[in-house]
Structure 1
Amino acid sequence: MLQYEFMRQAFIASTFIAITAGLVGVFVVSRNMSFLSHTLSEIGFAGASFGVLVGISPLAGMILFTIVSSIAVGGLSNESSRREASISAMSSLFIGLGILFLSLSSKSSSYATNILFGSIVGISSKEVQQLLALAIFVIIIFIIFYKPLAFDSFDHIGASASGLKTRLLSVIFLVTLALSVSIGAQIVGSLLVFVLLTLPGATAKYLAHSVPKMILVSVGLALSGVWLGLYLAFITNWPVTFFIATYEVIAYFIGLGYKNYKLNH
């Protein structure tokens, strides 16, 4: 399998994508922002479609839309009384915009398929380099702000009382989440990128009891999911997204069953 250059590039890109998604996903779950990763995936679809329309790379358009929108939508998350309706309205708007942008562009329908479902096996060397740079940037940001982000994510009240700049930390997290959505969409597409950003982290919560261990478990599940998905997609010619999503869902229910078993015994 690895004798083919496109598969080697796919494995390199997917490895960094999985590390980023697994790392960020732990904080997505702890901050109860799974809904936001889902919304950003739909916003990313509109951004990628906009990029196709105006002649820039879909990744650049996705990053532009998700970063701006993540901060705006993140502010709505504090208004619990109107949160669900506001998020649903924005999701609907951006899905509509994405479809409009694609219909106005001169590109073929294959572009829409790639945006929605990913195209990791057709990724170019330049795109791999871009993904690696973005993934490394996100990882560095988390290394720098790891302690305050972990404190704020798992004990927001305590972080506020101790004088941490929680608003600034929130903005930093939202920007890294937006970048992670844009990165992850390259392998599983904007339609299912939230799978990598939520399920490994949610499963890790059932299997580990400290932040470092949760990160290790989450990254491990994301890595094993994308590696197995690429291998099975290669030998079956089925979509890699199907295998990744199936693996992560099965792992989640196994983790949930383990948690329930431990509580009852």
Structure 2
Amino acid sequence: MFEYEFMRQAFIASTFIAITAGLVGVFVVSRNMSFLSHTLSEIGFAGAAFGILVGISPLAGMIIFTLVSSIAVGSLSGEASRREASISAISSLFIGLGILFLSLSAQSSSYATNILFGSIVGISAAEVKQLLILAVFVIIIFLIFYKPLAFDSFDHLGAQASGLKTRLLSIVFLITLALSVSIGAQIVGSLLVFVLLTLPAATAKYVVHSVPKMILVSVGLSLAGVWLGLYLAFVTNWPVTFFISTFEVLAYFAGLSYKNWKLTH
């Protein structure tokens, strides 16, 4: 398998994607913002389609759209009464925009398939470098803000009482989430990127309880999912997204079953 350059590039890119998604996902789950990762994935689809239309890379278009939208959409998280309807409206709008941008461009339908469901095995060396730079940037940001961000994510009221700049931390988190959506979409596509950003972290929450352990388990499950998915896709020629999603869902239900077993014993 590793005799093929595209598979080597796919494993390198997917490794950093999984690390980023597993790390950011812990804070997505702790902040109850799974809805936002799903919405940003659909906004990212429109951004990638816009990039194709205007002649820039789909990744660049996705980053622009998700960065601008993340803070605006994230502000709705405090309005629980309006959140569901607002998010549904925003998601519908950007899916429609994505379809419009693709129809206006001269590209074939294969581009839409790649954006929606990922195309990790066709990733170029230049795209791998871009992903690595973005992933390292996100990891560095989290290392810098780890302690205050963890405090704010798991005890928001305590963080406010202690004088932390929670508004700034929220913006930092939203920016890293937007970048993570753009990065993760390269392997599982814009429609399913929330799988890597939510399920591994949600599973980790069921089996461990400290933040460092949650991060380790979440990153480990993300890595296992993408590595196994790439291998099975290589030997079966089935879509890698199918295997990744299936693994993460099975792991999630295994974690949920473990939690229920612990509660009854």
The two structures have a TM-score, normalised by structure 2, of 1.00
1:100-119 matched pairs, under 5 angstroms: 100-119=100-119
Which residue in 2 is equivalent to 1:238? 238
How far apart are the structure 2 equivalents of 1:145 and 1:213? 18
1:1-265 matched pairs, under 5 angstroms: 1-265=1-265
Shift of 1:79: 1.0
List per-residue Cα deviations over 1:45-67 (Å, max 9, x = no partner): 00000000000000000000001
Q: Which runs of 4+ in 1 moved over 2 A?
A: none
How far apart are the structure 2 equivalents of 1:82 and 1:123? 39
The two structures have a TM-score, normalised by structure 1, of 1.00
How far apart are the structure 1 equivalents of 2:78 and 2:94? 21
Shift of 1:70: 0.4
Shift of 1:78: 1.0
Aligned residues: 265
How far apart are the structure 2 equivalents of 1:81 and 1:246? 33
Shift of 1:81: 1.1
How far apart are the structure 1 equivalents of 2:156 and 2:146? 14
List per-residue Cα deviations over 1:86-123 (Å, max 9, x = no partner): 11100000000000000000001110000000000000
Shift of 1:77: 1.1
CA RMSD of aligned residues (A): 0.3
**What amino acid is aligned across from residue 136 of structure 2 in structure 1?**
I
Shift of 1:229: 0.0
Shift of 1:131: 0.1
How far apart are the structure 1 equivalents of 2:238 and 2:179? 27
List per-residue Cα deviations over 1:204-254 (Å, max 9, x = no partner): 000111000000000000000000000000000000000000000000000
